[in-house]
Amino acid sequence: MSDAKTRLVARAARDILPGMVVNLGIGLPTQVVAHLPPDFPVCLHSENGITGVGPTQSYDDADRNLIDAGGAYVSALPGTAYFDSAVSFALVRGGRLDLTMLGAFEVSAQGDLANWKIPGKFTPGAGGGMELAQKARKVAVLTTHCDRKGQSKILPACTLPLTARACVDRVFTDMAVIDVTPEGLLLREVLEGLTVDAVIAATDADLIIPDGRIPTF
Amino acid sequence: MKFADKTTTIAAAIAQIPDGASVMIGGFGVPGTPFCLIDELVRQGPKNLTIIKNDANEQGMGVDHLLENGQVATLISTHIGLNPRAVGLMNDGTLQVEFCPQGILAERIRAGGAGLHGFLTDIGLDTEMAEGKQRVEVNGQTCIVETALKADFALLHADSADPFGNLCYAATARNFNPLMAMAAGQVIAEAEGIVAMGGIDPNHVHTPGAFVDHVVKLSTLTKEYAVVRR
């Protein structure tokens, strides 16, 4: 993983507050765990039916019945609970999930999220993404700032089918931390070593630039 | 008082499933997927099935054998991205796939099992997942009507069962199994172990045996149940 991605993941980890119930999506979000102190009080939920997701296990130590929603072999902790899929999503829709961190194909200036379908190319299905995006109390997106072709993933409006409308609160990228506000996208932090102008140039959506020095991460 | 003994052979249990049947299959990835029941369904070969399952497993495993054997007309699922064959069959029009948000699929099955006709939700409201679905206003909130889902058969995987069909699931192998146990006309459970009546503490029963019609003991677990090397 690039240094910038490592820093984005480490920065995102600082938004997990003690006592939260948190769901981490597949990809960059899952790696946030590595940046939490071992004794940090947080309850990780995975939509296949577990709260209290413990550290991932090697092939030799894996329990064949114990995975997270991404298929990784995980472990139980003192206090772990298992439940069925209806209970798992009651927890999500019922407002018990304090924070979810998700990946993205596109995020719009209004906080719309597209991460489940690229028509004609890739239609795997949304899994539990729609409920997570629509119902978690806070929705953070962790993504590279641009796609593999160098195109901005942060757009004035999404071009791909939506996962949920106006759901994203904060975007962590390998260039910046950006908040979705009623006024538009607010640049909060910039990757150390990058200029604000570089972030603006790499972003198709308009950014609101606050006065004064912008913190780095 | 005595309870009915519902243990049977895997061949007899699966022989009930005819061409054109709708079949719910438990599991989320490997855990909770009844691989042996699926293998028997492949061996007996009924066609034109509607399969309802969270995911399409991975290529070479579980539901994929049914797809490879051309037995599935429709797949109702939440995510098939780990099975390139499923994606390919969907893209070339051979397989009809109906996607559901995961918790909505779970709730549609739960509702079907609970004798309800559907429920109201705002999940997916602003997305193409809501296209064509009935909408109603409740307390000023626009909702989608999600219909309940039932099936002719449910195939489940349990960690342990007693002969009456009281079931226990292991860890994250629970997932859709207890929901599907309530939502099908004929419920067939395979179990890794069958204990004597009274061998499961009543406090620890996950699915009451009254929901289950047939119990099949697994003599051996095929390699598909094992930890997948990634």
Is pLDDT at A119 greater than 80 in this prediction?
A: yes
Tell me, yes or no, whether A151 lies in a domain: yes
- Residue B2, burial from CB neighbour count under 10 angstroms (0-12, 13-18, 19+): exposed
Quick count: other Cβ atoms within 10 Å of Cβ B190?
Answer: 24
**Mean of pLDDT values over B112-129:** 97
Tell me, yes or no, whether A216 lies in a domain: no
Q: 124-143 in B: which are within 8 Å (CB) of A?
A: 124-129
Separation of alpha carbons B226 and A3, rounded Å: 36
**Which residues of chain B make contact with A135, given a CB cutoff of 8 A?**
123
**Mean of pLDDT values over B122-129:** 95
DSSP string, A126-170: -TTHHHHHHHSSEEEEE--SB-TTS-BSEESS--SPPSBSS---E
**Which residues of chain A make contact with B121, given a CB cutoff of 8 A?**
93
Q: 163-222 in B: which are within 8 Å (CB) of A?
A: 170-179
pLDDT at A123: 85
Tell me whether A128 touches chain B (CB under 8 Å): yes
pLDDT tens digits, one per residue of A35-89: 999 899 999 999 999 999 999 999 999 999 999 999 999 999 999 999 999 999 9
List chain B domain ranges.
Answer: 10-117+147-219
Kindly tell me the sign of the dihedral angle through the C-alpha atoms of A27, A28, A34, A37.
negative
Nearest CB to A85 within list B97, B176, B225: B176
**Which residues of chain B make contact with A127, given a CB cutoff of 8 A?**
78-79, 102
Tell me, yes or no, whether A173 lies in a domain: yes
With cut-offs at 50, 70 and 90, classify the pLDDT of residue A2: confident
DSSP string, chain A: --HHHHHHHHHHHTTPPTT-EEEE-TTGGGGGGGGS-TT---EEEETTTEEEEE----GGG--TT-B-TTS-B-EEEEEEEE--HHHHHHHHHTT---EEEE--SEEETT--EE-S-BTTTB----TTHHHHHHHSSEEEEE--SB-TTS-BSEESS--SPPSBSS---EEE-SSEEEEEETTEEEEEEE-TT--HHHHHHT-SS-EE--SSPPPB-
pLDDT at A166: 98
Map tokens 């598909």 to a residue: B224
Secondary structure class of B84 (helix, strand, coil)? helix
- B172 and A124 within 8 Å at the Cβ level: the answer is no
B224 CA to chain A: closest CA distance, Å? 10
Quick count: other Cβ atoms within 10 Å of Cβ A205?
Answer: 17
**Tokens matching residue B204:** 């620890």
Nearest CB to B102 within list A82, A89, A134: A89
Kindly tell me the sign of the dihedral angle through the C-alpha atoms of A112, B118, B183, B155.
negative
Identify residue A105 by its one-letter amino acid code: F
Mean pLDDT of all residues in chain A? 96
A5 CA to chain B: closest CA distance, Å? 23
Q: What's the predicted TM-score (pTM) here?
A: 0.97
Is pLDDT at B83 greater than 90 in this prediction?
A: yes
**Which residues of chain A make contact with B30, given a CB cutoff of 8 A?**
64, 67
Tell me whether B12 touches chain A (CB under 8 Å): no
Tell me what percent of the residues of chain B surpass a pLDDT of 70. 100
**Tokens matching residue B120:** 């109201």
- B170 and A65 within 8 Å at the Cβ level: the answer is yes
- A65 and B99 within 8 Å at the Cβ level: the answer is no
**Mean of pLDDT values over B5-29:** 98
Name the domain count of chain A: 1
B2 CA to chain A: closest CA distance, Å? 30
Nearest CB to B225 within list A64, A122, A123: A64
Give CA B19 to chain center in angstroms. Answer: 18
pLDDT tens digits, one per residue of B33-62: 999 999 999 999 999 999 999 999 999 999
Q: Measuring CA to CA, which residue among B27, B78, B75, B80 is closest to residue B51?
A: B75
Q: Measuring CA to CA, which residue among A151, A143, A152 is closest to residue A115?
A: A143
**Mean of pLDDT values over A103-132:** 93
Is pLDDT at B90 greater than 80 in this prediction?
A: yes
Q: Which structural domain range is residue A21 located in? A: 3-208
Tell me, yes or no, whether A8 lies in a domain: yes
Nearest CB to A127 within list B97, B102, B173: B102
Which DSSP helix (H) or strand (E) runs through B216? strand B214-217
A11 CA to chain B: closest CA distance, Å? 28
Is pLDDT at B18 greater than 90 in this prediction?
A: yes
Q: Under CATH, which number does the domain B10-117+147-219 receive?
A: 3.40.1080.10
DSSP string, B161-178: E-TT--EE--GGG-TTHH
**Which residues of chain B make contact with A163, given a CB cutoff of 8 A?**
127
Q: Measuring CA to CA, which residue among B153, B176, B163 is closest to residue B217?
A: B163
- Cβ atoms of A22 and A37 within 8 Å: the answer is no
pLDDT tens digits, one per residue of A12-22: 999 999 999 99
B77 CA to chain A: closest CA distance, Å? 8
Q: What values do phi and psi take at B2, rounded to 5?
A: -125, 150
pLDDT tens digits, one per residue of B142-156: 999 999 999 999 999
CATH number (domain holding residue A143): 3.40.1080.10
**Mean of pLDDT values over B88-110:** 96
pLDDT at A121: 82
With cut-offs at 50, 70 and 90, classify the pLDDT of residue B80: very high
Is pLDDT at A120 greater than 90 in this prediction?
A: no
pLDDT tens digits, one per residue of A156-192: 999 999 999 999 999 999 999 999 999 999 999 999 9
pLDDT at A4: 95
Tell me, yes or no, whether A215 lies in a domain: no
Write the DSSP symbol of residue B148.
P
- Cβ atoms of A115 and A163 within 8 Å: the answer is yes
**Tokens matching residue A184:** 């538009």
Is A47 among the catalytic positions? Answer: yes
